[in-house]
Amino acid sequence: MTQTEKRTGKRTALVLGSGGLVGAGWEVGVLRGLLDAGIDPTGADLIVGSSAGAVVGAQLASGRGGLDALYEQQLDGEATEPAVRLGIPTILRYAVAVLRSRTPEEYGRRLGRIALAATTVTEGERRATVARRLGRAGDWPARPLLITAVDAATGELVAYGEDSGVPLTDAVTASCAIPGVWPPATIDGRRWIDGGIHSTANAHLAAGYDRIVVVAPSARGSKVVLSPARQGADLAAGGARVEVITPDAASRKAMGRNALDPAHRAAAARAGRDQGASCAEAVAAVWTG
């Protein structure tokens, strides 16, 4: 154990970013590919999940079923959600929100207004869908797990944990509430939207941990939303060993253009598995070196 580990007691963190159903499949594939090479970051001392990563993180942290079973679920072809997409008008409103915002919180407020005005399925229907995806992983695990969401009114980021008093299914439903697609989730009288709005990885929540692996289906960043690579660099500057994995060319092709279409989930998982195996050496240098 290093002096840093003795000081903080915080050794390893796995960060799972946002990216829709397809991104979730890719994340699981990457982790399965790492396991093929003998590396298992799913045993991290902390798991941080945003949106797609919230679902995967909750499933992994629960320890129910294991990574093998979770990977096979990505290949079975079962559609746990309907295929949807962001319409062009909504995409344009997202773009305008970025251009007019100066901070992630301001951006979150603008997208919050989009979310609150959108016509979607009911909150109850959406929560039931998320509950089905979580399956037996519907309760907070004993292991540290943080699930992110953004306040639709203030744009502020919150990280729910077991001590929040919020049911895990509600926290994950909020984290997956994509503005303009799914309804904001109501928790304690406030409305919450997708945790990936603040940043696609929210890797800053792993600050203080010594060895960090970030698996982020979206590599994007902007003038107000920090990219996973930028957040990884900031963590490294703070003294952590960090490896950031975002989709390579083969994975991007397999994932397609619509992250919310489950038809691409299996291909994304297979491509992620190949990519995970190919980057295992770099991950091992962080995780076990």
Give one DSSP letter per residue of the chain, joined into a string. --HHHHHH---EEEEE---HHHHHHHHHHHHHHHHHTT--GGG-SEEEE-THHHHHHHHHHHTSSHHHHHHHHHHS---SS------HHHHHHHHHHHHH-SSHHHHHHHHHHHHHH---S-HHHHHHHHHHHHTT--S--SS-EEEEEEETTT--EEEE-GGG---HHHHHHHHT--TTTSPPEEETTEEEEEGGGT-SS-GGGGTT-SEEEEE-S-----SSS--HHHHHHHHHHTT-EEEEE---HHHHHHH-S-TT-GGGHHHHHHHHHHHHHHTHHHHHHHHT-
Average confidence (pLDDT) over 232-240: 97
Write down the pLDDT at residue 4. 35
Write down the pLDDT at residue 47. 98
Residue 133 CA to its chain's centroid (Å):
14
Of 18, 50, 51, 101, the catalytic one is 51
pLDDT digits (tens, 9 = 90+) for 188-207: 999 999 999 999 999 999 99
Write down the pLDDT at residue 37. 96
Q: How many CA atoms lie within 13 A of 117 on its CB side?
A: 8
The answer for 135, left when phi > 0, alpha when psi is -120 to 50, beta otherwise, is left
Distance CA 84, CA 97 (A): 22
What is the domain partition of the chain in residue ranges?
A: 12-83+118-288
Flag the least confident range among 56-60, 108-112, 173-177, 285-289: 285-289
Write down the pLDDT at residue 10. 66
**Torsion angle, alpha carbons of 126, 57, 157, 230, to 10:** -130
pLDDT digits (tens, 9 = 90+) for 69-119: 999 999 986 666 777 888 889 999 999 999 999 999 999 999 999 999 999
Buried/exposed code over 14-26 (b: 16+ C-beta within 10 A; e: otherwise):
bbbbbbbbbbbbb
Q: Within 10 A of 167 (CB to CB), how many other CB atoms are there?
A: 16
Whether 194 sits among the annotated catalytic residues: the reply is yes
Give one DSSP letter per residue of 139-192, joined into a string. S--SS-EEEEEEETTT--EEEE-GGG---HHHHHHHHT--TTTSPPEEETTEEE
Whether 227 sits among the annotated catalytic residues: the reply is no
Average confidence (pLDDT) over 272-278: 98
Of 151, 170, 194, 261, the catalytic one is 194
